[in-house]
Amino acid sequence: MMRVYGAVIKLVLASISLVVVSGAGADVYIQCPGDLDGDGVIDNFGDPFHQEHPNAVCMSITGGDGYVNMADTTVTGGDRGRQLYMFGFADVTGVAPADVIETATTGAWFPAPTIEVAEGDELFLSLTNVGMAGRPDLDDPHTVHWHGYPDAAPVFDGNPDNSISIHMGGTLTYYYNANNPGTYMYHCHVEATEHMQMGMSGNLYVTAAQDDLPDGTDLKGFTHHDGYSYAYNDGDGSTYYDVDYPLQLGSFDPEFHDASENTQPLPFALMNDTYPLLNGRGYPETVIPGPLANTANGILSQREDSLITAIQGDKVLLRLSNLSITQYFTIFSPQVPMEIVGTGAHQLLGTNGADLSYMTNSVTLGGGEAFDAILNTADLDPGTYFLYTSNLNYLSNNTEGRGGIMTEIQIVDPAAAEQVLLNDPVAGPQQVSPNLALTAAKAALAEQGVTIGDSTGWIAERDLMLAERDRLLAERDQLTNP
């Protein structure tokens, strides 16, 4: 323990000296045990620094600016909706230090790159501030705040009141010992209202050590097998799931973003978020698989879709979080009941260990809150179901109706899934449902002459989604108003 503690202290001191000197030289210096060339990838597991940290996991990200498009395409009349200037993080793990700033300039993602680590991992997260190319008058520092991380060392907490802020051209490596499973989130804590409104937030979660128990372990009558996953170390299999999806709620005020881009006074008191977002998109773009490119520079700035797919009988873990700075949201699934098993990265248990999980069709999240919800698809017929906000004013993309916080839950027939597996030997037992859904989607679109992967492919797919959405809504209206 003392060796690890000493290594961490050395890491802190090196990071502090780096922040002090790197601004002038704009050097990118990644600290990662066993990384030989500074790109954030472990190359030598025999390295003495790595031997002190055998469970090290490394990731290199940047803080800067960029662009995203909203989903109100009927208003703009184009392939993408309204373009917004934004701040954000980007993943540059594997990029050579000399290329990081050029690679990430105006390359911010929204939401930020997802951080997934396993319980027991030691995360070395390097943040480089690449500056604001769209606003060269700004020299804003950035931080990473792991929201909900227990017992965070002040230097790594990301709150600029008591920790380091990374100035333009500087790099800081954060250290986290991930000992508590659950759903978290992260964001920049410098000028938090502005930077979070502008897009500096992302999904973060820690998987449970119980996943790695020996095959055949008895959990109070529940038998664990290789490949099984759990939301928490429940001891009885009660938080078992087959596939998980992080879903982060947020919202943008387009006038605030435009004011920032145009170097105008920022309307904090008038902030009005009219773009409700799920993983950085409004419906129907929430259900378009894969990343979307912006119309400013073609960067794939929206990388996270929210399409939920599962084989009938699967248990689906939704890792729900809200980092909107203005709104509460209620997530509602009228046909698919959900079991809330955790909140704030804690399993719902009483002081005496009693199970406090509960069944519901909706959950309300305020800013900074996270919930773990398990959907059981055993009693659902194969088909498409919906997950959306019950706040009807948030089912819109600015002035365009029928959008906002909504996504689809696609339940695949087991027989059809088995056939897809026969045709897709690459699909393995882990996270197989998304593979099945993507394979099925590609096959269906291929029959219509559409190839996913190029720009025309996803645009055509988006148009098909829009047509199907309008058909379903018309069908609903006919049933409710015969």
Instruction: Give me the pLDDT at residue 114, please.
Output: 96
**Distance of alpha carbon 93 from its chain centroid, rounded?**
16
Four-CA torsion 157, 267, 404, 314, nearest 10 degrees: 10
Distance CA 394, CA 273 (A): 10
Q: Picking from 14-18, 26-30, 68-72, 175-179, which range would have the lowest pLDDT averaged per residue?
A: 14-18
Q: What is the mean pLDDT of residues 80-90?
A: 95
4's enclosing H/E stretch is helix 2-25
Domain with residue 99: its CATH number is 2.60.40.420
pLDDT reported for residue 304: 94
**Whether residue 311 sits in one domain with residue 455:** yes
Give me the pLDDT at residue 50, please. Answer: 87
Give the model's pLDDT for residue 476.
Answer: 58
Instruction: Report if residue 452 sits inside a domain.
Output: yes
**Across 440-467, average pLDDT:** 51
> Quick one: pLDDT band at residue 10, thresholds 50, 70, 90?
very low
> Final residue of a domain: which of 175, 200, 221?
221
In a domain, 329, yes or no: yes
The verdict on 177 and 305 lying in the same domain is: no
**Both 49 and 182 in a single domain?**
yes
Give 6's pLDDT tier (boundaries 50, 70, 90). Answer: very low
Answer yes or no: is 421 within a domain: yes
Crossing angle of helices 432-447 and 414-423, rounded to 10°: 80
Tokens linked to 481: 């108003």
pLDDT tops 50 at residue 436: no
Contact 299, 110 (CB under 8 A): no
Q: Which of 304-318, 323-337, 466-480 has the lowest mean pLDDT?
A: 466-480
Same domain, 291 and 202: no
- Does the pLDDT value for residue 396 go beyond 60? yes
For residues 77 and 214, state if they share a domain.
yes
Q: Kindly state whether residues 319 and 447 are assigned to the same domain.
A: yes
Secondary structure E strands in 15-148:
56-69, 83-91, 112-118, 122-131, 145-147
- Residue 142, in any domain of the structure: yes
Residue 382 and residue 411: Cα distance in Å, rounded?
5
Between residues 152 and 209, which one has the greater pLDDT? 209
Percent of the chain past pLDDT 90, that is, above it, reads 66
The total of structural domains in the chain comes to: 2
Q: Do 342 and 183 contact (CB within 8 A), yes or no?
A: yes
Strand order in the sheet with 201-207: 112-118, 201-207, 182-187, 145-147
Query: pLDDT value at position 322?
Result: 96
| Domain termination residue (choose one: 197, 221, 245) | 221
Burial 57-66 (b: 16+ CB within 10 A, else e): bbbbbbbbbb
Q: Are residues 23 and 145 in the same domain?
A: yes
Task: Classify residue 83: in a domain, yes or no.
Answer: yes
pLDDT band at 427 (very low <50, low <70, confident <90, very high): very low
Does residue 386 lie within any of the structural domains? yes
Alpha carbon of residue 95 to chain centroid: 21
Q: Using the predicted structure, report yes or no on whether residue 12 has a pLDDT greater than 50.
A: no
Beta-bridge partner residues of 171: 128
SS3 (DSSP) at 329: strand
Q: What is the extent of the structural domain holding 139?
A: 2-221
Query: 413 and 305, same structural domain?
Result: yes
Closest among 389, 247, 387 to 317, alpha carbons compared: 247
- Domain membership of residue 260 (yes or no) is no
pLDDT at 466: 58
- C-alpha distances (whole Å) from 428 to each of 164, 291, 420, 431, 452 are 42, 22, 12, 8, 21
> Do 283 and 188 fall within a single domain?
no
User: What pLDDT band is residue 79 in, cutting at 50, 70 and 90?
Assistant: confident
Q: Give residue 434's region: left, alpha or beta (phi > 0; psi -120 to 50).
A: alpha
State residue 467's pLDDT score. Answer: 66
| Nearest C-alpha neighbor of 23 from the set 171, 173, 170, 142 | 170
In this structure, are 202 and 58 located in the same domain? yes
**Is 226 a member of any domain?**
no
Q: How confident is the model at residue 45 (pLDDT cuts 50, 70, 90)?
A: confident
Domain closes at, from 175, 205, 221: 221
| Residue 210 and residue 283 share a domain | no
Could you tell me if 426 and 350 lie in one domain? yes
Backbone angle region of 221, left / alpha / beta, with phi > 0 → left and psi within -120 to 50 → alpha? left
